[in-house]
Structure 1
Amino acid sequence: MKQIIKTDQAPAPIGPYNQAVRAGNTLYVSGQIAIDPATSELKLGDLEVETRLVMANIEGILKSEGLGFEHIVKTSIFLKNMDDFVQINGIYGEYFTSDFPARETVQVARLPKDVNVEISVIAVYS
């Protein structure tokens, strides 16, 4: 059985998908981009601001379920330009302290709304 997760701590979906779906003890979080959940405004131009907002959106969804970054078992990072990897990876790394999740990072031809980074995660409930 699946449960649809909705929170105002992350942007509302911009298409036919949900912020997250719980199936059993696993939470599948849809790819997050730099949309401010309070204003629905897209924040582009500064890669650090963009990446931190993506991580904050993920955190909002996790917190709405009583979870944190330590519950993440898998991340997928999609980059517009692999040259941005070092900067994005540095910011991403601030959110994890140990027992890091599995991950892939790929450069893609284009991302929704022409953002520079999109990140999705899978977390497990304790």
Structure 2
Amino acid sequence: MKTIISTENAPSAIGTYSQAVKVNNTVYLSGQIPLEPQSMAVVDGGFEAQTHQVFKNLSAVCTAAGGDLNDMVKVNIFMTDLSNFATVNEIMSQYFAQPYPARAAIGVSQLPKGVDIEIDGVMELPNLN
């Protein structure tokens, strides 16, 4: 049985997808880009500000699903410039505690709305039975 996860604390979907889908204790999070949830505008401030907003958006979806960022087991990071790799590592360490999730960092030519970063992932909720 799958449950659709949706929250007003993260940007609404801008296409034919859900913010996340929960199947049993596993939550599949759609890619988040650096949109401010209320205005749906890309945040100002460059790559660092965009990265912080993406983690805030992911956190909101995780919370809506009954978990938090530290329940994520896999993270995929898409960047238009891989020279920002060290910046992503530094910012990610502010949002995750060890042990960190498995991760991929992928360079892409472009992302929706011309942003510099998008992150998706998989979260495994604790078994509360």
Band the TM-score falls in, shorter-chain normalisation? over 0.9
TM-score (norm 1): 0.95
Superimposed CA distance per residue, residues 17-62 of structure 1 (whole angstroms, 9 cap, x where no aligned partner): 0100001110011000000002111124511111000000000011
Distance 2:114 2:46 in 1: 13
Verify the 8 A CA contact 1:34 1:44 in the aligned structure 2: no
| Displacement after TM superposition at 1:8 (Å) | 0.4
Task: List runs of 5+ in structure 1 lacking aligned partners.
Answer: none
- Correspondence list, 1:57-76, <5 A: 57-76=57-76
Task: List runs of 5+ in structure 2 lacking aligned partners.
Answer: none
Match of 2:53 in 1: 53
| Displacement after TM superposition at 1:82 (Å) | 0.4
Task: Answer with 10-19 or 61-70: which moved more.
Answer: 61-70
> Partner amino acid for 2:117?
V
The number of aligned residues is 126
> Partner amino acid for 1:112?
P
Q: Does 1:90 find its partner at 2:90?
A: yes
Match of 2:43 in 1: 43
> Stretches of 4+ moved more than 4 A in 1?
none
| Displacement after TM superposition at 1:65 (Å) | 2.1
Superimposed CA distance per residue, residues 85-124 of structure 1 (whole angstroms, 9 cap, x where no aligned partner): 1112210121111111000001011111111000001101
> What SS does the aligned partner of 2:104 have?
strand
Distance 1:62 1:50 in 2: 18
Distance 1:54 1:82 in 2: 17
Verify the 8 A CA contact 2:77 2:118 in the aligned structure 1: yes
- Correspondence list, 1:16-31, <5 A: 16-31=16-31
Distance 2:66 2:88 in 1: 26
Identity of aligned residues (%): 37
Match of 2:8 in 1: 8
Verify the 8 A CA contact 1:10 1:36 in the aligned structure 2: yes
Distance 1:98 1:89 in 2: 13
